[in-house]
A and B are shown apart, each in its own frame.
Chain A
Amino acid sequence: MKFLAQDQLQAFLGHLAGESRVVAPVKGDDGVVLFRPWSPGTEVELDVLLAKQSAKEFVLRQSETYLRYGYAMEGEAAAQVDDSHEAKVALEDPAERKAAQDAAVTAHAVLVVEPVNDAPAQVIFGLRPCDARGFVQMDNVFGGYGGFYFDPYYNAKREATTLVAVTCRDPRSTCFCTSVQGGPAATEGADVLLTQVEGGFAVEVVTERGETLLASADLADAGQAQVLYAETVKETAEARVDAAFDLEGVREHLRANIEDSGWHDLSMRCISCGTCTYVCPNCYCFNITDEMVEGQGERIRTWDNCFNPSYTLETSGHNPRDIKSNRFRNRFSHKFWYYPEKYDSLLCSGCGRCITHCPTRIDIREVLGVMGSERTAVSATTPATSGGEA
């Protein structure tokens, strides 16, 4: 274990910034703490437990350009027909191909496509263990599943990112990481874990990437007292996280209660916005749009969420999740049923942002308590009402 003195923090971040972009929680003029690109002299905010948003945005960008496209006009077009257009018009017969090329030139335009995938090296500093774990949970989706769904955009950024997590000293009453197999000092996903001790941070290397990051930082070894202090901080924090619900059997209960009227009751005060999903370190749904102005366009990926009316809207006009309670149910079922079934993990790391940021305080712990376990007892004594939704 190494030691980083509080008064060395700026120099340390400056050192990291020499190699890559540094992202850290920073308090704005309005008092709102968000992960922002750090620049020398900027104070890192670690007293406020959680930034308003997770650090997800820096790997799964809220808006991301896949590619740019446009029509090259006459003259330019002629020069590009051979390379670009030939690839597009996959015609076997040379005569047909020539005719197609001629037609393209006659039309004075040819489609030019430029792929984009910017992934500068970056260090995300000061995120909490729940946020770090969120990346691991998203990795399954974007990089896993036998590589079939390997997502070059997510992974380029993920591979260029080093995560320096900080142990939670004072978990909030809405934190429930320990109920979802995590903890305030858990290292899953983190490359380095810092723990605030007297006068600075106890520094633990978790991964090889973390080791590389610290290799040139020239940190002193932590003293015995600092090691012990760090252990105490971790234990105290762990004890402060309240048990929220029993994970045992949640998946089966969700499946069994899919048509239960409880979903309707629980979703009554939901206003059907997407806040919970956008502040969540694990929610990863996205949409793809072509946006074009005057012949030049971009294909962009933007975050989407299951509360969006067009989320599962089919071209026929049918929407299997056409009302609020169905959309509401999806969020919890996805995190604790569909995803676990596929990846043998959870899609929730217990940060509690969905609770604290929800305009009407929908509480995922309450939902899982009611639908995930207690509900069976209720249903066992009263006949199940199917749906209850108009």
Chain B
Amino acid sequence: MSDRQAKIRELAGAALAEDRVDYFIGWKQGINSSEAIPAFVRNADEVDQLVWNPLSHHNLTAFLKRKMPDPPNARIGVCVKGCDSRTLVALLQEDLVDKERIYVVGVPCDGIIDRRRVEKEFADEVVSISFSGDTVTATTRCGDSKDFAKGDITFDHCNTCRYPNPFYADDMAADPVPEPEDRTPMWGTIEEFEALSPAEKDAKLADAFETCIRCFACIHACPVCVCWDQCVNRSRRPALVGQRVDTKENLMFQMVHMFHVAGRCPSCGACDRACPVEIPLYLLHRKMNKELYDMLGFEPGVSLDEKPAFQTFKLDDPFGEH
């Protein structure tokens, strides 16, 4: 058992035993050991279900946003990775989460693996994933297994991550992991996209959004997408986004999401991982992050004292030059 996992259980157990929280949200094993899913723990004697491993991908701060806490005044304990803490900071910046009602356990993160990439290596179903150092072993239902180097199957945003340690936490599950000294963002695959011609970009976007089924998993998994029942993409009066499901309207819907979370979204990738048809949504948000950085030097969710980029201005903002 990893030290971080043991510490998460210990901190969660103490918070529940001392009645500091009504429930604690962490990760637990899913259907089998090939996946982790959100866990809601109510009793101190149930903390042994909590796990921490490179499959703990869910950004659990999504369960803190408006209308999600149940009951609304619940005192909630929650685990956050570095990127998750940035969405929490973004929520706190706007007073969308009551700091007094949450207990945050920060988990320094070494990167999360993309289970879907592993899945595609087999025709059969992957039923087990285990870790040994930097080697990841996946096994299928028929017993075939394959080793992967962890670095080869981590998410793009993990590979380019500059903030692996949580910004905001009441307690930490471990000492911080080493952070890069140079915090200049790396944009990964975005630069490949930017190098395309406008026609190529159009084609790529059309290709990606053709398969969208408008299930809204992306916006519901998104911690900083907070309009909930009042989402403009679902609104029929006013009908600002068409109900028709086609490439054009799908793209429009995603553009609305992208702009609404701009300045609050640190591109944690929760939308991307929730998408049932695997649309690379993360790239849209990454692109917006890059624009904000290039234009304003702004990074979302890295300081409690800042406001999201689109909710404030500075006199020396460079508008007009772009």
Q: Residues on A close to B: CB < 8 A?
A: 28-32, 34, 47-49, 52-53, 62-63, 170, 172-174, 264-265, 268-269, 271-275, 277-279, 287, 289, 291, 300, 302-303, 305, 308-310, 323-325, 355, 357, 359-361, 363, 389-390
Contacts and interface: CB of A to CB of B under 8 A. Distances in A.
A279 B275 CA distance: 11
Nearest to B117: A31
Interface string B125-138: 10100000000000
B277 A52 contact: yes
Interface stretch (B2-10, B97-105, B237-245, B314-322): B237-245
B243 A302 contact: yes
Interface string B52-92: 00000010001100000011110000000000000000000
A323 B70 contact: yes
Interface residues of B, number: 50
Nearest to B235: A310
| Best-buried of B38, B125, B215 by chain A (most CB within 10 Å) | B215
Contacts of B23: 268
B70 A302 contact: no
Given A32-B278, A272-B220, A360-B58, A287 B32 contact: no
Contact of A275 (B72, B242, B243, B276): B276
Given A287-B243, A291-B242, A269 B37 contact: yes
Contacts of A173: 31-32, 125, 127, 141
B277 A53 contact: yes
| Best-buried of B62, B218, B242, B276 by chain A (most CB within 10 Å) | B276
A52 B141 contact: no
Given A32-B277, A291-B239, A390-B70, A363 B31 contact: yes
Given A62-B214, A325-B70, A390-B70, 13 more contacts: A47-B123, A49-B125, A170-B142, A174-B31, A271-B274, A274-B215, A274-B216, A302-B214, A302-B244, A303-B213, A308-B234, A309-B228, A359-B220
A63 B73 CA distance: 39
Contacts of B239: 289, 291
B40 A268 contact: yes
A325 B70 CA distance: 10
A272 to B, nearest CB: 6
B217 A273 contact: yes
Nearest to A292: B239
Interface string B25-53: 00000111001011110000000000000
Contact of B70 (A48, A357, A389): A389
A363 to B, nearest CB: 7
A264 B142 CA distance: 37
B139 to A, nearest CB: 12
Contact of B124 (A170, A265, A274, A355): A170
Contact of B125 (A172, A275, A310): A172
Closest 7 CB pairs of A and B: A390-B71, A309-B229, A359-B274, A273-B217, A273-B220, A357-B276, A271-B220
Contacts of A325: 70
Contacts of A360: 37-38, 58
B234 A310 contact: yes
A117 B23 CA distance: 52
Contacts of A355: 31
A229 B219 CA distance: 48
B221 interface: yes
A216 to B, nearest CB: 33
Contacts of A268: 23, 40, 70
A291 B70 CA distance: 36
A390 B72 contact: yes
Contacts of A309: 228-229, 234
B211 interface: yes
Contacts of B234: 308-310
Nearest to A172: B125
Contacts of A324: 70
